[in-house]
Structure 1
Amino acid sequence: MAKYRQYADTIIVTKDELDDIHAFQEDVLEYGLIDMDEYALENNISFGTSVAAVVFEFSKRANYAALIISTILGMASSMKEDLTKHVQSANRELNKIRRFMRDNPRYEKVEIEVPFMDFDDFRLIYGKGVVTRVKTRNGWIPME
């Protein structure tokens, strides 16, 4: 059985970095959780500016696909189903934040508190993130 812990953490990202994080999560969902295709995951996963590697805490970037697939293979089917649902929900929420940033071009960065599921060698965003503040040229603005 896969060992994990759940907790909230704060990330601060630009619009482009948020796009990279969303693309990474989508790749993990499609090729890691649904298709479970290590080769496709390795070839399609998106690291962009490598912010995804930092946010998702890969200890050995070259082996990320194998780490994800082997962890998922070690899960009970009910846990895998639950994780799939949570990652789908997280991806929908990340997409809403991406649209929010696109619709507000004066925001340069966004601070988001997100729930993570942390495994031995990586972590995934598994639920709704909350925007806590945004950064403009004039500084940070708290969100209520």
Structure 2
Amino acid sequence: MAREYAERITVSLADLKKIQRAEDAMFDYITGDLDNAELSKSLSGVSTVFSVFLLSTVAGAVSCCAGLLSGLLSDSEKDTVIRLINNGHYDIRQKIYFLEDNPQYDLIEVKFPFIEFSTDSGDIRFISGKGVYVRCHIKNKGWEVV
């Protein structure tokens, strides 16, 4: 019951780092490396970027992740989700490097691919692959198409 699509998001370097931390924690939960309490603790510091995942609270994030594992995903689907999250994670890291290497930019707009799941607790999505730069914001100057 997954839906795949692309959507533009505008993010700063700090946002990307929080998105990466959130995806790390959710990935670790899905692979069995974190339990509910550990996931909750890991996500508490990055809740300002939850809208990227269609979430609003830490409890909602934990509940949606638990919903994915409680029968929503078969073993083969779980392997696919893990692969897609890894692909997204890799690209998020590339976008972080780009902003670190280009400090003239304070924001980037990226069209990312997402995979979205509906659970009994709500919807959750993950960045699932390589995003395309749409434009970059130059500090105190405006947007530049890339």
Superposition TM-score, scaled by structure 2 size: 0.87
Partners of 1:34 and 1:89 in 2: CA distance: 19
CA–CA distance in structure 2, aligned partners of residues 46 and 84 of structure 1: 22
Task: Give the Å deviation of 1:63.
Answer: 2.8
What does the per-residue CA deviation read over 1:89-117, in whole Å, with 9 as the maximum and x for residues that have no partner? 11011001100000100101000111111
Give yes or no for contact 1:32–1:68 (8 Å, CA) kept in 2. Answer: yes
More strand by share: 2
Q: Describe the shift of the 1:56–1:31 C-alpha distance in structure 2 as closer, same or farther (beyond 3 A).
A: same
Partners of 1:88 and 1:34 lie apart in 2 by: 15
- Paired residues in the alignment total 140
Structure 2 vs 1, CA of residues 7 and 101 (structure 1 numbering), >3 Å: closer, same or farther? Answer: same
Q: Which residue of 1 aligns with 2:108?
A: 110
Partner of 1:138: 141
Give the SS at the match of 1:45: helix
SS in 2 for 1:35: coil
Q: Report the CA distance between 1:54 and its aligned residue.
A: 1.3
Consecutive unaligned residues in structure 1, runs of 5 or more: none
- Given residue 142 of structure 1, which amino acid in structure 2 is its aligned partner? V
Counterpart-to-counterpart distance in 2, 1:17 and 1:71: 25
SS of residue in 2 equivalent to 1:90: helix
TM-score by length of 1: 0.88
Counterparts of 1:114 and 1:33, CA distance in 2:
23
Q: Which 10-residue stretch deviates more, 63-72 or 108-117?
A: 63-72
Task: Report the aligned-residue RMSD.
Answer: 1.7
Contact 2:20-2:93 at 8 Å conserved across structures: yes
Q: CA deviation at 1:4?
A: 2.1
Are 2:74 and 1:71 aligned? no
- 2:81 is paired with a residue whose SS is helix
Output the CA distance in 1 between the equivalents of 2:44 and 2:24: 9
